[in-house]
Copies of this chain bind each other. A is one copy, B any other.
Amino acid sequence: MKHRLRIAAVAFPLLALVAASPPARPLTPSEIVAQAPDSAWAAFPARDLLVIDLDSGSRVVIALAPAFAPVHVENIRALARSGWFDGITINRVQDNYVTQWGDATEKKALPAGIVVSPPAEYARPLAGLGFRAMGYRDAYAAETGHAGGWPVAREGALAWLPHCYGMVGVGRNLAPDTGTGAELYAVIGHGPRHLDRNIATVGRVLAGIEALTALPRGTEALGFYKEGAPRSAILRARIAADMPASERPAFEVMRSDAPQFAAWVKARANRKDDFFIRPAGALDICNALPPVRAVKG
């Protein structure tokens, strides 16, 4: 992996030179993404983007998944709109596990209109999702694939968003409590897939993940920060649709039904760059999170 920087830097000019002739080798996953036409991309609706500004100056943008956890997502929208998230802190950074934020005092009253005991939105019917199986083995689910720009795991007639790096879930107490959405976490390590179907997964970090992953780890049990230890705070969290149009961030995801996406999956599973000797012929769903790009809002 020493000199891949140089390899990448050289690849594009070379390609440009030979653009008129057929490619001499299969495209790399990055090249497939770079060359995908606009028709291969779909915008995240502005009402599904949670925009979190941290006091560090960093911005984290999370795509919410109402198709998978509609009640929790509606709660999160209401929490954002009421300003409830503003001023809460990142309280837990457990290495190879999660970064979690919420009200450290646990005394902040929830705004009116919140569903205090949401249903257990841990899985949903597979039907109606437009699920496309990858066709590769998974350690945890009967099948994995994609739908509507989301990574999806399936077992029988049920489907859910797997706990992959960068996925966002809803902190909760012991069951049957399911959490309200007031306390969220992002996965920052190897996918803790044993949490699948035990917690509501509600979204995915699209941008600013470094602001959650490069933080000092908490020193207390389970990676919580010691009481009184310095920690990042959320300056404000808004739904993009509520922001002035000129300020809204906007993102697109590669469509799960685009031929370029199928080509990307295949190329990810069968890496043939000059670097690779033995293509895996396999692909973990957590290594197949759909490509995302920032666009002009």
Report which A residues bind B (CB closer than 8 A): 1-5, 7-9, 93, 95-96, 98, 100, 102, 120, 122, 136-140, 164-166, 169, 171-175, 179, 183, 185, 189-194, 196-199, 209-210, 213-217, 220-222, 224, 268-269, 271, 274-280, 282-287
Contact = CB atoms under 8 A, between A and B. Distances in A.
Contacts of A280: 140, 193-194, 196
Contacts of A4: 222
Given A1-B171, A277-B197, A284 B190 contact: yes
B282 A2 contact: no
Contacts of A284: 139-140, 190-191, 193
A286 B190 contact: yes
Given A120-B277, A214-B214, 19 more contacts: A1-B185, A2-B172, A2-B179, A7-B174, A95-B210, A137-B138, A139-B283, A140-B282, A174-B275, A189-B189, A190-B191, A194-B276, A194-B280, A194-B283, A194-B287, A197-B277, A198-B275, A198-B276, A198-B277
Nearest to A189: B165
- Describe A's contact surface by its main secondary structure: loop
A136 to B, nearest CB: 7
Contacts of A190: 164-165, 189-191, 284, 286-287
Contacts of A5: 220-222, 224
B174 A274 contact: yes
Contacts of A274: 174
Given A198-B277, A280-B196, A221 B139 contact: no
A254 to B, nearest CB: 17
